[in-house]
Amino acid sequence: MFIVEFSPPEAAAAALVSLELLHKRAPNLPIFVFARGGNERTAARAMKLGASDYWPIHSVIVGELCSALQPLIEPPQTAIAATAPLVDKWRQPEIAGYALLKRIAQSAAASVYLARNAEFASPVALKIQAITGQQVVSIADRERFAKECEILSKLNHRSIANVLDYGITDDYLYLALEYFPCGSLRERLKHPVSEADAVNYAHQIGEALQIVHAARIVHRDLKPSNLMLTNENRLVLIDFGSARTQFMASDLTRSEDCTGTPYYVCPEQIDDREPDARGDLYSLGVVLFEMLSGTLPYLGKTLADILAAHRSAPIPRLPEHLKAYQAIVDRLLAKAPQDRYACAAEFLDALDGVRVQIGNQKSSNS
């Protein structure tokens, strides 16, 4: 793990030389870079020299870091190794028909590449997960993957990423989605968001959840980095890697751990209870509060502090000039699922009601 100061440049140069030497000596060793003062060019340089992942140090999310490190500290599964050759997760995979241009994201379970395929006019985001390795993909996991890809490919809604292709090879699961060069809501939130944009984005997210939930799918990992922006300022929901279809057999749907990002996770996921659609609405509440106020509703010095706040801390108050949205936030962030909106349609109706109320007040004041 390297912490690299990119200012002054000579300090960064020495650290990157060490990174390059280490990568040459141990090419299969995962190397994580935490950067202060870097940018896209420094990120690309670090990855080219052998970094497995790169985080701006101010935006490291504890849960994602833990997820990336956990597989590396678990003892090797010798029984599995004896029955199947392991796929090197850190080697660039090969998927027939796709030319991988660059890796654009990495998690403990999968990698996402910018890729080209002659069948598609534009580059695609190709998500690839090794079937064997640190996290073995069971037959049940493969069945669930194929079933959920089939369902997602039929959703056909402008607020949900188009599934262009998917498949299972001897070594990998892969999923090709439309690529969004404008980045995610996470990058957008690095700058203030207007009230109008925040409400517009929340409405778009609610519409996406309405479609997803109608297909009986629970996303389970709604957060700004899974909401991509288009040139038309439209949000598109991506990454259904943690999703569950509620109508499938329990042995295909039960998760043995708490999925989702700690800042956006609902209390029932923390308690290892399977969330329904109302869990996604809780995560939407976190995103809405963050967009309106510029800060997350629940923070803490440790992961335990954050999770405890989700379970028991009072719902925070919005600034006075945004108090019209407080009742909506209160319903979305209710600790008990039964106290939240029953469905995305109810949330959209409430949001539209506040919009009309504010519009009428502005008209009467003018």
pTM for the full model? 0.67
CATH of domain 2-60: 3.40.50.2300
Residue 300: CA count within 13 A, CB half-sphere: 16
CATH homologous superfamily of 83-178:
Phosphorylase Kinase; domain 1 (3.30.200.20)
- 89 alpha-carbon distance from chain centroid: 20
Q: How many whole angstroms separate alpha carbon 253 and alpha carbon 266?
A: 18
Packed helices 277-293 and 195-214: angle between N→C axes, nearest 10 degrees: 170
pLDDT in tens, the chain (366 residues): 878 887 777 777 777 888 888 878 887 788 888 887 776 667 767 777 888 777 777 666 666 677 677 767 655 544 444 444 555 555 678 899 999 998 887 766 678 899 999 999 889 999 888 887 656 677 887 887 787 788 778 787 888 888 899 998 888 889 898 888 888 899 999 999 999 999 999 999 999 999 999 988 888 889 998 899 988 899 999 876 555 554 333 332 333 334 447 899 999 988 888 889 999 999 999 999 999 999 999 998 888 899 999 999 999 999 999 999 999 999 999 999 999 999 999 999 999 999 999 988 888 876
Write down the domain spans for the chain: 2-60, 83-178, 185-357
What value, to the nearest 5°, has the Cα angle with vertex 310 and ends 306 and 312?
Answer: 110
Q: What is the pLDDT of residues 279-304, one digit of tens each?
A: 999 999 999 999 999 999 999 888 88
**Closest-CA residue to 174 (of 117, 129, 115):** 129
Class of residue 307 by CB neighbours under 10 A (exposed 0-12, middle 13-18, buried 19+): buried
Strands 217-218 and 227-229: unpaired
Q: How many whole angstroms separate alpha carbon 178 and alpha carbon 163?
A: 7
Please pick, among 221, 239, 276, 280, the residue that the annotation labels catalytic.
Answer: 221
- Peptide bond before 8: cis, by omega within 30 degrees of 0? yes
Helix H, strand E, coil C: the string for the chain is: CEEEECCCHHHHHHHHHHHHHHHHHCCCCCCEEEEECCCHHHHHHHHHCCCCEEEEHHHCCHHHHHHHHHHHHCCCCHHHHHHCCCCCCCCCCCCCCCEEEEEEEECCCCEEEEEECCCCCCCEEEEEEECCCCCCCCHHHHHHHHHHHHHHHCCCCCCECCEEEEEECCCEEEEEEECCCCCEHHHHCCCCCCHHHHHHHHHHHHHHHHHHHHCCEECCCCCHHHEEECCCCCEEECCCCCCEECCCCHHHHCCCCCCCCCCCCCHHHHCCCCCCHHHHHHHHHHHHHHHHHCCCCCCCCCHHHHHHHHHHCCCCCCCHHHHHHHHHHHHHCCCCHHHCCCCHHHHHHHHHHHHHHHHHHHHHHC
Contacts of 9 (CB under 8 A, 6+ apart): none
Starting at the edge strand found earlier in the chain, the sheet holding 163-168 runs: 99-106, 111-116, 124-130, 172-178, 163-168
Q: How many whole angstroms separate alpha carbon 288 and alpha carbon 333?
A: 10
Q: How many whole angstroms separate alpha carbon 199 and alpha carbon 291?
A: 9
Q: How many whole angstroms separate alpha carbon 285 and alpha carbon 115?
A: 34
The token duo for 91 is 């080697």
Q: How many whole angstroms separate alpha carbon 212 and alpha carbon 341?
A: 16
Q: What is the pLDDT of residues 24-69, one digit of tens each?
A: 888 778 888 888 777 666 776 777 788 877 777 766 666 667 767 7
Domain 185-357 is found in CATH 1.10.510.10: yes
**Closest-CA residue to 296 (of 259, 265, 272):** 265
Clarify whether 352 is annotated catalytic.
no
Q: Tokens 């329904």, residue?
A: 276
